[in-house]
């Protein structure tokens, strides 16, 4: 199974990223409406100072929406992505309101009013987003608000791009024409033939956007077509050999005046999403340690102590983010001082019916309870609740030369559970093919992270703990 077959391709061609100011104005009006409605629901009397609070919250919404790209063109973006972009803005609203009421010493109905405001705002903005999306996509599919598109470049690239647009009429693009060349044996693309096609296509027709899709970046070819389009006032976009790389996501950003393409981009490179994931980790781990670990850990510790001699916890050095060593906490499941080194000096992985595992340890491994102390790692910041599972240092050193893209999985903090684990790739990996598949799943998770995906993985992990995992031993 290749990396790209794990799930349907998530490559998104965002042909437009224009700001949509009417949507911002509409949301600010909804913000004001939500504030007044929340005050009415909680019987909180409005005062003159509330005008200042609403103004401050409107400014907070403006800046947070810019940081989260909430109002970028959404015709090629999924609704889930829109909702995820909304979450940081709601969090900022909550914080701004709490701080404002604190400094104004307005303690009347503070808790109920704040919760009511955020709930009403979330509901109204979500309904507005959904309705706007459905309306715009209905118009686009009916031919309203269409943009005329022409695609030129290497034939396979052109066919793939054309197929994508044709399968998604809601994107709002009409293809005026396509022209592709076969790359076999060519040193340079056929520029004159491309220009002749463009001249013919543009006669009597308005081209809004031109997509150049060569398989490799040919500077002279792209530069000449851009010059032709500039003379016509046509917007140009191009895919400079993206698909020659084995990655499923890319992002484009400005570094000063230089546009840079990031290969294997991840949403967590944005501070807003990283902070949201970290907040989830802190809240989840703190609640678990207080509500569950406070009574469960002593019971497990007692069972381990009665079963065999030795310490309750097992602390092992593993590779964390960027390959740095971290000390990972686990409940001890093997007999004290059991060796992790084979006779040939290699890393001795745990196997089914491993004689090193104690009776209690076998139960802990089967139910994944041995991993629970890693919530301490999460709270301290060396791990995340969800992420690629960390491997022992010696295991990682042995695997690194055998899998070319192994280190990509270390771009994020390791997790207590992960996408590979809930898809059955856990436990012993003596076969290098199984390890490659595990790495493929880890890379897919890194490139396609979302908070919703983290929740899904947590729920599937909990289900597997109850059901029992045949690979857990």
C-alpha distances (whole Å) from 210 to each of 36, 72, 168, 189, 317 are: 47, 20, 18, 17, 53
Q: Is the pLDDT of residue 387 over 80?
A: yes
Distance (Å, whole) CA 320 – CA 314: 17
- In sequence order, the 6+-apart residues with CB closer than 8 A to the CB of 173 are 15, 146, 147, 148, 149, 165, 209
Confidence band, pLDDT 50/70/90 cuts, at residue 427: low
Bridge partner list, 417: 386
DSSP secondary structure letters along 405-431: TGGGGGGS--EEE-HHHHTT--S---S
Residue-averaged pLDDT of the chain: 80
Per-residue pLDDT tens digits for 138-151? 776 676 778 889 99
Nearest to 92 by CA among 62, 112, 64: 64
The domains found in the chain, sorted by start residue, are: 21-141 (no CATH), 147-265 (3.40.50), 271-467 (no CATH)
Average pLDDT over residues 278-297: 93
Which pLDDT does position 382 carry in this prediction? 93
Top mean-pLDDT range of 70-79, 257-266, 313-322, 349-358: 313-322
Nearest to 263 by CA among 247, 243, 274, 244: 247
Per-residue pLDDT tens digits for 147-175? 889 999 888 888 888 888 887 776 778 89
Per-residue pLDDT tens digits for 199-214? 999 888 888 889 888 8
Lowest mean pLDDT among 12-21, 167-176, 378-387, 390-399: 12-21
Q: Is the pLDDT of residue 216 over 80?
A: no
Question: What is the reported pTM?
Answer: 0.56
């Amino acid at each position: 199974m290749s990396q790209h077959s794990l799930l349907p391709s998530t490559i998104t061609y965002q042909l437009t990223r224009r700001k949509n100011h009417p949507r911002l104005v509409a949301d600010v009006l909804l913000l004001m409406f939500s504030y007044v409605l929340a005050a009415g629901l909680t019987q909180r009397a409005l005062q003159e100072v509330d005008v200042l609070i609403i103004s401050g919250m409107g400014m907070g919404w403006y800046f947070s929406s810019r940081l989260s790209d909430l109002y970028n063109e959404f015709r090629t973006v999924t609704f889930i992505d829109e909702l995820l972009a909304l979450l940081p803005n709601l969090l900022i609203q909550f914080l701004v309101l709490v701080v404002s009421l604190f400094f104004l010493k307005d303690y009347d109905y503070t808790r109920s009013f704040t919760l009511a405001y955020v709930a009403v705002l979330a509901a109204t903005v979500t309904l507005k987003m959904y309705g706007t999306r459905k309306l715009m996509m209905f118009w686009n599919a009916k031919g309203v608000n269409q943009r005329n598109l022409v695609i030129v470049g290497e034939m396979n690239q052109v066919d793939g791009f054309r197929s994508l647009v044709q399968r998604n009429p809601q994107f709002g693009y009409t293809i005026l024409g396509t022209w592709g060349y076969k790359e076999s044996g060519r040193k340079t693309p056929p520029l004159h033939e491309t220009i002749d096609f463009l001249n013919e296509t543009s006669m009597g027709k308005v081209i809004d956007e031109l997509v150049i899709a060569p398989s490799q970046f040919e500077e002279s070819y792209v530069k000449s077509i851009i010059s032709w389009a500039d003379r016509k006032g046509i917007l140009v976009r191009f895919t400079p050999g993206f698909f020659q790389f084995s990655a499923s996501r890319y992002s484009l950003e400005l570094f000063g005046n230089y546009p840079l393409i990031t290969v294997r981009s991840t949403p967590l490179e944005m501070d807003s999403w990283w902070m949201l994931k970290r907040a989830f980790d802190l809240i989840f781990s703190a609640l678990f340690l207080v509500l569950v670990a406070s009574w469960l850990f002593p019971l497990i510790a007692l069972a381990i102590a009665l079963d065999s001699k030795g310490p309750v916890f097992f602390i092992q050095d593993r590779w964390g983010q960027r390959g740095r060593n971290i000390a990972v906490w686990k409940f001890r499941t093997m007999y004290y001082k059991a060796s992790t080194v084979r006779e040939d000096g290699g890393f001795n992985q745990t196997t089914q019916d491993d004689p090193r595992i104690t009776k209690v340890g076998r139960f802990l491994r089967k139910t994944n309870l041995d991993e629970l102390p890693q919530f301490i790692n999460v709270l301290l910041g060396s791990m995340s609740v969800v992420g690629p599972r960390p491997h022992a240092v010696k295991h990682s050193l042995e695997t690194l030369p055998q899998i070319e893209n192994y280190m990509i999985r270390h771009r994020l903090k390791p997790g207590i559970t992960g996408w590979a684990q809930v898809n059955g790739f856990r436990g012993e990996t003596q076969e290098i093919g199984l390890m490659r598949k595990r790495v493929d799943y880890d890379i897919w998770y890194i490139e396609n992270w979302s908070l919703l995906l983290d929740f899904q993985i947590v729920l599937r992990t909990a289900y597997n703990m109850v059901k029992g995992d045949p690979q857990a031993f």
